[in-house]
Every structure is written in C-alpha cells, then in structure tokens.
C-alpha cells in the first residue's frame, strides 16, 4: 500500500466527492443541527470518528460477512461505534450532548456512513478504507461547519459565540429556523456547483 | 383528546420533515415523481407505525434487564427486520408495488424518521397507545410533506432555471419555502 493512493483517497472525500456538496448525502444532520457553529463541528467530528472505525472494521471483516446479510452486519458495526460516541459525549461533553440530542443516535442512519461501507469499505483493504472514512468525515465536517457558521452569523450575528456583525445588524431569525436551513443550504450548494462548473470550464480552456 | 393533540402535533405542527429535519434523504431523493413519493410514504407509514409498537416492548425489555445503553442498537435491528418483512410481504402480495418501490424499500432502514420517531417516543415518555399514535402521525406528516413536495418538483422540471440552480439547490430552496408555510402551523396547539 503506497502513500500516494492513501493521500488520493483521503483528499477525494474532502474535495472531489465531498459528501455534502458533491454527493448530497447525510442531509438530516446537515440541516437539523447547523444553527450553531459549535454544533456543526461537534457533529462533524463525531460522525468522522464513527466513519473511520466502521470503515476500518467492515473492511477487516469484508471476507467474512456473507453478501446477503451485509446490511444488518453493517448496521450492528455502525451502531456499536455510535453507542461509543454517545457514551463518551454524555460523560465528557454534556452540554453538546444535550444540544445535539436525538441526532447523536441518528448518526446510525446517516447515509454517508452506509454509502461508504457499501461502496468503499466492503471492497477495499483496511488502511485505504480508514483513509476514505477520514477524508469523507472531514469533508462532511468542513461542509457542515461552513454552513453552521453562515447560519449562526446571519441568525445571531455570531460565530462560535463571538460577535462578528456590527452593532446595527438585526439578526435574521429565519436563518436559524428550519426554513432558513433549507434555503441557505440550497444557496450554498448553488454557489459550490457554480464554482465547480467554472473551474471545470477553466481547466478545459487551459487544455 | 390527548391522543388527537399528539396526532395533529406530529402531522402538522412538528412535521418530521419540515420542522425536525428527519427523513430528509428520501424527502429529497424520492420526490421526483408523485407516484413513487406516495408509495414511499405508504411504506414508511407502515414501518414507523409497527416499529413504534415493537420498540415499545423492546424498550420495556431493555429497562427490565437494565440494558438501556443498548437502545440504539436494539431499535435499529428491530427496524431492519421489519423492513425485511415488509419487503417479503410486498413481494408476495403486490409485486407491482414491490417493483415500483425497488431500491427504496431497503433504504427505509436508513430513513432517520423511523429511528427518530421511536427514540422520540421513548424520550417523551409516551405509553403504548401514545407511541403508536405519535409514530403514525409522524409518518402521515412525512407522507404529506413528500407528496406535496413531489408535486412542486414535477412543476419545477418544466421551469427554466439557471444551470447552477438546477437539481438540488433549486429543490432545497423550494423545500425552504414549504417549511415557511409549515411554520404557520406553529401556534395551532
């Protein structure tokens, strides 16, 4: 296993196949908890942890799990790591545990984790799968932290609780409400699609 | 009376998709056609209602054995089994619907509305009947949202959107406007 392939797999999750912006997976946590920047980063890192270890374990067991019952097997492995995250967060980060609430348990059904188990970890060696999990997880973390910063800035005028907007700025309550989540994610997605299409064009023009 | 309040609350006021953001993946993924959206809604309704019933007993068992920390694993396994049963039954009873739902059937397992509803039942301390009513209401709310949204998306297909707005960005903004409408129910209860 050479280092180059690992790096390529890792970066693939952050840029080319960013789970949120390019694959549009894992929308539930992306929309639900992003009204605060600290939620975004907490959720992102919790998901990354689960993703790395579930990818690693599934890849180690990929020759032992029969094809037919792979889905229940994936679920049990993923749910185990989610339970670990749940307990650790409850013990050491009770405030974050309370704000994220039911969405910590719901990491089990985050489609990013499932999609990577099925599409990558079940077919690739352990180290490469862990790199894929780390890349995808950090790509997800980056995306939801970005979105939660935008929402917190517009909705409360702060980022990570520090005020960034001038005095006269009237916070837009809709940005932290559900409707604002949909709309701002739509706009962010449109911007990313636009930028990607533009750089694609530039690349082709350069050729 | 309490049961009616729980039901209306779950369908309109705390609509799972529009207010709690649960079940967003199928909401965005399976909403291109009204027909499949409706089929998905019906399948999800069945699974959530039965799952609410089943997980109530599983929860009692876990509490009796003092194994509450296994809740997440136990619930998701129950749901996975239920989905498998639904798949088998549909295949025998209505092959046409089975084929129409196709890949979406196994995906109900990873629909966070199902697991979310069962966990919220536990968190809210609902009894057996309240759990089932809440689960059923949540599922009807999901069906309502996805069917309405698929109608909007069918119209959007024909409209002339700029390239960077086509697909998901446009759909998300439409969903946002729908959520604004749903937030109008906020004072109902």
Question: What ipTM was estimated for this complex?
Answer: 0.82
Would you say A47 and A113 are in contact if contact means Cβ atoms under 8 Å apart?
yes
Is residue A204 a part of any domain in this protein? no
- Given this model, what pLDDT does residue A91 score? 94
- Given this model, what pLDDT does residue B70 score? 87
Is residue A207 a part of any domain in this protein? no
B112·A179 Cβ contact <8 A? no
Q: Which of A161-170, B53-62, B65-74, B164-173 has the lowest mean pLDDT?
A: A161-170
Among B70, B119, B175, the residue with its CB nearest the CB of A182 is B175
Residue A158 and residue A178: Cα distance in Å, rounded?
18
Band of residue B60 on the pLDDT scale cut at 50, 70, 90: very high
Among A28, A110, A186, the residue with its CB nearest the CB of B21 is A28
Task: Report pTM.
Answer: 0.87
Among B25, B69, B123, the residue with its CB nearest the CB of A87 is B69
Smallest CA–CA distance from B183 into chain A, residue: A179
Would you say B66 and A58 are in contact if contact means Cβ atoms under 8 Å apart?
no
Is residue A205 a part of any domain in this protein? no
Band of residue B189 on the pLDDT scale cut at 50, 70, 90: low
Smallest CA–CA distance from A193 into chain B, residue: B164
A80·B23 Cβ contact <8 A? no
Residue B11 and residue B19: Cα distance in Å, rounded?
10
Band of residue B33 on the pLDDT scale cut at 50, 70, 90: confident
H or E segment and range at residue A165: none
What's the total number of domains in chain A? 1
Q: Kindly tell me the sign of the dihedral angle through the C-alpha atoms of B41, A111, B95, B99.
A: positive
A193·B115 Cβ contact <8 A? no
CB atoms within 10 A of CB A127: 14
Is residue A135 a part of any domain in this protein? yes
Is residue A32 a part of any domain in this protein? yes
Quick one: A138 exposed, middle or buried, by C-beta within 10 A (0-12, 13-18, 19+)?
A: buried
Smallest CA–CA distance from A80 into chain B, residue: B73
- Residues of B contacting chain A (CB within 8 angstroms): 18-25, 27-28, 69-73, 76-77, 80, 106, 109-112, 114-116, 119-120, 123, 163-165, 168-173, 175-177, 179-180, 183
B169·A27 Cβ contact <8 A? no
Is residue A169 a part of any domain in this protein? yes
Enclosing domain of residue A92: 3-199
Residues 163-182 of A with CB under 8 A from B: 174, 177-182
Q: How far is A58 from chain B (nearest CA, A)?
A: 17
Best of B12, B16, B24 to disrupt the A interface by mutation (most A CBs within 10 Å)?
A: B24
Best of B14, B15, B19, B25 to disrupt the A interface by mutation (most A CBs within 10 Å)?
A: B25
- Given this model, what pLDDT does residue A146 score? 92
Residue B40 has pLDDT above 90, yes or no: no
* Chain centre distance of CA B88: 20
Record the tokens describing residue A202, joined without a space.
């530039």
Is residue A15 a part of any domain in this protein? yes
B106·A71 Cβ contact <8 A? yes
CA distances from B130 to A134, B10, B51, B117 (A): 41, 11, 13, 12
**A109 touches B: beta carbon within 8 Å:** yes
Quick one: A160 exposed, middle or buried, by C-beta within 10 A (0-12, 13-18, 19+)?
A: middle
The tens-digit pLDDT sequence of chain A (207 residues) is: 578 888 888 888 888 888 888 878 888 888 888 888 899 999 999 999 999 999 999 999 999 988 878 888 888 899 999 999 999 999 999 999 998 888 888 898 888 898 889 888 998 999 999 999 999 999 999 999 999 999 998 888 888 888 877 778 888 888 888 888 889 998 988 888 888 888 888 888 887
Is residue A195 a part of any domain in this protein? yes
Q: How far is B183 from chain A (nearest CA, A)?
A: 8
Instruction: Considering only residues B105 and B176, tell me which one the structure prediction assigns the higher pLDDT.
Output: B176
**A79 touches B: beta carbon within 8 Å:** yes
Residue B151 and residue B41: Cα distance in Å, rounded?
14
Percent of chain B with pLDDT over 70: 96
């Amino acid at each position: 296993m050479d280092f180059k392939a690992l790096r390529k797999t890792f970066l693939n999750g952050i840029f080319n196949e960013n789970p949120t912006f390019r694959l549009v997976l894992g929308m539930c946590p992306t929309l639900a908890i992003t009204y605060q920047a600290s939620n975004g980063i907490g959720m992102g890192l919790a998901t990354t942890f689960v993703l790395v270890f579930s990818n690693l374990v599934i890849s180690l067991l990929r020759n032992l799990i029969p094809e037919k019952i792979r889905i229940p097997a994936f679920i049990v492995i993923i749910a185990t790591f989610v339970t670990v995250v749940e307990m650790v967060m409850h013990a050491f980060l009770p405030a974050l545990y309370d704000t994220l609430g039911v969405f910590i348990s719901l990491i089990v059904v985050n489609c990013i984790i499932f999609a990577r188990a099925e599409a990558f970890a079940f077919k690739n060696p352990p180290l490469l799968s862990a790199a894929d999990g780390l890349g995808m997880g950090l790509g997800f973390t980056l995306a939801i932290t970005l979105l939660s910063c935008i929402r917190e800035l517009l909705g409360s005028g702060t980022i990570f609780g520090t005020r960034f907007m001038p005095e006269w700025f009237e916070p837009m309550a809709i940005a932290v409400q559900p409707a604002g989540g949909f709309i701002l994610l739509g706009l962010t997605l449109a911007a990313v699609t636009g930028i990607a299409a533009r750089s694609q064009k530039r690349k082709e023009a350069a050729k | 009376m309490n049961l009616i309040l729980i039901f209306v609350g779950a369908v309109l006021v705390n609509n799972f998709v529009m207010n709690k953001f649960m079940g967003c993946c199928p909401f965005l993924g399976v909403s291109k056609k009204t027909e499949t959206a409706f089929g998905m809604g019906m399948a999800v309704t069945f699974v959530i209602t039965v799952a609410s019933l089943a997980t109530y007993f599983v929860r009692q068992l876990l509490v009796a054995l003092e194994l509450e920390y296994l809740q997440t694993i136990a619930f998701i396994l129950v749901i996975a089994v239920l989905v498998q049963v639904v798949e088998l039954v549909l295949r025998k009873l209505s092959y046409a619907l089975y084929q129409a739902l196709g890949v979406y059937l196994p995906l109900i397992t990873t629909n966070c509305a199902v697991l979310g509803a069962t966990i919220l039942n536990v968190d809210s301390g609902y009894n057996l009947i309240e759990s089932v009513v809440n689960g059923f209401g949540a599922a009807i709310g999901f069906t309502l949202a996805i069917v309405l949204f698929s109608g909007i998306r069918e119209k959007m297909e024909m409209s002339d959107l700029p390239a960077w707005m086509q697909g998901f960005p446009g759909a998300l903004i439409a969903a946002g406007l729908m959520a604004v409408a749903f937030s109008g129910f906020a004072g109902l209860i």
